[in-house]
Protein backbone atom coordinates (compact mmCIF):
# COMPACT_ATOMS: atom_id res chain seq x y z
CA UNK A 1 0.00 0.00 0.00
CA UNK A 2 2.81 2.45 0.86
CA UNK A 3 4.57 1.76 -2.42
CA UNK A 4 1.38 2.52 -4.35
CA UNK A 5 1.02 5.86 -2.52
CA UNK A 6 4.62 6.76 -3.33
CA UNK A 7 4.13 5.88 -7.00
CA UNK A 8 0.98 7.98 -7.12
CA UNK A 9 2.71 10.95 -5.48
CA UNK A 10 5.61 10.67 -7.91
CA UNK A 11 3.25 10.60 -10.89
CA UNK A 12 1.40 13.67 -9.61
CA UNK A 13 4.68 15.46 -9.05
CA UNK A 14 5.84 14.70 -12.60
CA UNK A 15 2.50 15.87 -14.04
CA UNK A 16 2.81 19.17 -12.17
CA UNK A 17 6.35 19.65 -13.48
CA UNK A 18 5.21 18.94 -17.05
CA UNK A 19 2.44 21.54 -16.79
CA UNK A 20 4.80 24.16 -15.36
CA UNK A 21 7.38 23.41 -18.04
CA UNK A 22 4.89 23.76 -20.88
CA UNK A 23 3.57 26.98 -19.37
CA UNK A 24 7.04 28.51 -19.42
CA UNK A 25 7.44 27.47 -23.07
CA UNK A 26 4.07 29.00 -23.93
CA UNK A 27 5.03 32.24 -22.14
CA UNK A 28 8.25 32.39 -24.14
CA UNK A 29 6.33 31.96 -27.40
CA UNK A 30 3.91 34.72 -26.42
CA UNK A 31 6.86 36.97 -25.48
CA UNK A 32 8.40 36.37 -28.91
CA UNK A 33 5.03 37.19 -30.47
CA UNK A 34 4.81 40.51 -28.57
CA UNK A 35 8.36 41.44 -29.59
CA UNK A 36 7.69 40.42 -33.20
CA UNK A 37 4.60 42.63 -33.32
CA UNK A 38 6.68 45.50 -31.91
CA UNK A 39 9.31 45.10 -34.67
CA UNK A 40 6.69 44.90 -37.42
CA UNK A 41 4.81 47.96 -36.18
CA UNK A 42 7.79 50.16 -35.17
CA UNK A 43 10.36 49.21 -37.82
CA UNK A 44 7.89 48.23 -40.56
CA UNK A 45 9.90 45.07 -41.25
CA UNK A 46 8.39 41.93 -42.68
CA UNK A 47 8.59 38.99 -40.24
CA UNK A 48 10.64 37.20 -42.91
CA UNK A 49 13.60 39.59 -42.62
CA UNK A 50 14.36 39.36 -38.92
CA UNK A 51 15.03 36.80 -36.23
CA UNK A 52 14.55 37.19 -32.46
CA UNK A 53 17.04 35.61 -30.06
CA UNK A 54 16.85 35.64 -26.27
CA UNK A 55 20.25 36.28 -24.70
CA UNK A 56 21.51 36.00 -21.14
CA UNK A 57 21.76 39.31 -19.36
CA UNK A 58 22.64 40.45 -15.84
CA UNK A 59 19.77 42.91 -15.86
CA UNK A 60 16.29 43.27 -14.40
CA UNK A 61 14.57 42.48 -17.71
CA UNK A 62 14.87 39.83 -20.42
CA UNK A 63 17.27 40.80 -23.20
CA UNK A 64 16.37 39.93 -26.78
CA UNK A 65 18.39 40.62 -29.93
CA UNK A 66 16.52 41.35 -33.13
CA UNK A 67 18.73 40.27 -36.03
CA UNK A 68 18.11 41.93 -39.39
CA UNK A 69 18.74 38.92 -41.65
CA UNK A 70 20.21 40.78 -44.67
CA UNK A 71 23.07 41.89 -42.35
CA UNK A 72 24.12 38.27 -41.90
CA UNK A 73 25.69 38.42 -45.38
CA UNK A 74 28.32 40.72 -43.84
CA UNK A 75 29.28 38.12 -41.23
CA UNK A 76 28.34 39.38 -37.79
CA UNK A 77 25.17 41.44 -37.24
CA UNK A 78 25.46 44.82 -35.61
CA UNK A 79 26.36 48.34 -36.54
CA UNK A 80 23.43 48.40 -38.93
CA UNK A 81 19.73 47.80 -38.55
CA UNK A 82 19.93 44.98 -35.98
CA UNK A 83 19.08 46.03 -32.43
CA UNK A 84 18.12 44.69 -29.01
CA UNK A 85 15.27 45.21 -26.57
CA UNK A 86 14.82 44.91 -22.84
CA UNK A 87 11.54 43.11 -22.23
CA UNK A 88 9.46 42.93 -19.04
CA UNK A 89 8.24 39.33 -18.85
CA UNK A 90 5.69 40.18 -16.14
CA UNK A 91 4.04 43.09 -17.97
CA UNK A 92 4.67 41.61 -21.44
CA UNK A 93 6.01 44.84 -22.88
CA UNK A 94 9.20 46.29 -24.25
CA UNK A 95 10.92 48.59 -21.79
CA UNK A 96 13.79 49.87 -23.90
CA UNK A 97 15.25 49.54 -27.38
CA UNK A 98 19.02 49.69 -27.75
CA UNK A 99 21.88 48.96 -30.13
CA UNK A 100 24.01 45.88 -29.56
CA UNK A 101 26.26 46.04 -26.53
CA distances from 22 to 3, 11, 27, 28 (A): 29, 17, 9, 10
CA-based angle 99:79:87, to the nearest 5? 20
User: pLDDT digits over 59-79, tens only?
Assistant: 899 999 999 999 888 766 556
Report residue 8's pLDDT band, with 50, 70 and 90 as the boundaries. Answer: very low
Q: Per the confidence metrics, is the pTM higher than 0.85?
A: no
* CB contact at 8 A, 66 and 38: no
User: Is 23's pLDDT higher than 80?
Assistant: no
Amino acid sequence: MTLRCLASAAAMSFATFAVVGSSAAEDSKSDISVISQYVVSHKHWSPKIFRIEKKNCDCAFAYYEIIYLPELKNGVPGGGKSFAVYYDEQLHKIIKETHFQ
